[in-house]
Amino acid sequence: MEVVRIVPRGYCHGVVEAIRAARRVGAERQGEPIAMLGYLVHNEHVTTELAESGVRLVDATSRLEGLESIREGTVIFTAHGVSPAVRAQARARGLHTVDATCTDVIRTHDLVRRLADDGYTIVYVGKRGHPEPEGVLGEAPDRIHLVESVAEVDALHLPPGRLAVTTQTTLSLWDTRAIIARLQERFPAIEVHNEICNATQERQEAAVTAAASCDAVVVVGSARSSNTQRLVQVIQEHAARPAFLVDTASDLRPEWFAGCRRVGVTAGASTPTVITRQVITALEALEPEPALSPVAVTAGPGPSAPGTG
């Protein structure tokens, strides 16, 4: 099988820095209790590796709730960021903190604080249940409104005064275009602050462009990862190609590629490079098979609903 290695793919700079920080604290504080407050990045392979170095996962509905179970030692704030309330509670508990927040997310926190201080009402485009919005909304809970859809924009009742809109960093222009356009229709004076991470947009655009010359595309990553799930979706929506989500090479199914000669491979921003290489090697070893029936467009064996990271 001919395999097209789509670039860019895999780790973004925020993930790289977060993993480096966690590995460093695991090495420096051996023998001490170390916990990461939620998934450092949404990939089980990374989580397992960190657990082997003494960094345990504390996963809960919210960061504040998770913090309740950390009594001593070191707590790592993940790449998604945390609210000021979480930071204050960690200090009150006397915990040593390691901040692995992505610099792009930090910039959004700074923006929201500045806008709130200047008297703006803020609309934030993001995904409920994702840890990044949880942290950002905590910067100005009385002045910020989370929306996920155009319908939610239509239901907004905002006070008079200055308005601004910003976004979760791990969305894309495709995800937010219609929502922001509707906000501008309803509130013509609203200021738009694009905080979308370049890495997210670049990976999606590269995947769609490459998919046009492929028979199918394999996306390597965790079903927990929303940016990985979104890669599958944009390939289906914008390139009209079959796209399959796999966590490891063992998830590949030969019947997916009946009639395929050229398969693209990309990976979510939290997917270890070694896992993607194994998938590429397995695909290259496949012998192209004659087409038996049309290949169904699917997200592969994992859940098809967007994940939480």
- Dihedral Cα 259, 265, 270, 273, nearest 10 deg: 120
Q: Which two tokens stand for residue 16?
A: 């790289």
With respect to residue 309, please indicate whether it lies within any of the assigned structural domains. no
Percent of the chain at pLDDT exceeding 90: 81
185 is catalytic: no
Shared domain for 87 and 19, answered yes or no, is: yes
Give the structural domain span for 165: 104-192
Pick the last residue of a domain from 145, 172, 192.
Answer: 192
Shared domain for 139 and 173, answered yes or no, is: yes
* Predicted confidence band of residue 295 (pLDDT cuts 50, 70, 90): very low
Name the pTM for this structure: 0.85
Shared domain for 160 and 204, answered yes or no, is: no
pLDDT of 90-144, one tens digit each? 999 999 999 999 999 999 999 999 999 999 999 999 999 999 999 999 999 999 9
pLDDT at 300: 47
pLDDT of 259-285, one tens digit each? 999 999 999 999 999 999 999 999 999
Q: Which of 132, 134, 139, 195 is catalytic?
A: 132
Secondary structure E strands in the chain: 2-5, 34-37, 55-58, 74-77, 96-99, 121-125, 144-147, 163-167, 191-192, 216-220, 243-246, 262-267
* Predicted confidence band of residue 42 (pLDDT cuts 50, 70, 90): confident
With respect to residue 210, please indicate whether it lies within any of the assigned structural domains. yes
With respect to residue 185, please indicate whether it lies within any of the assigned structural domains. yes
Shared domain for 278 and 260, answered yes or no, is: yes
Domain count, the chain: 3
More confident residue, 280 or 175: 280
With respect to residue 50, please indicate whether it lies within any of the assigned structural domains. yes
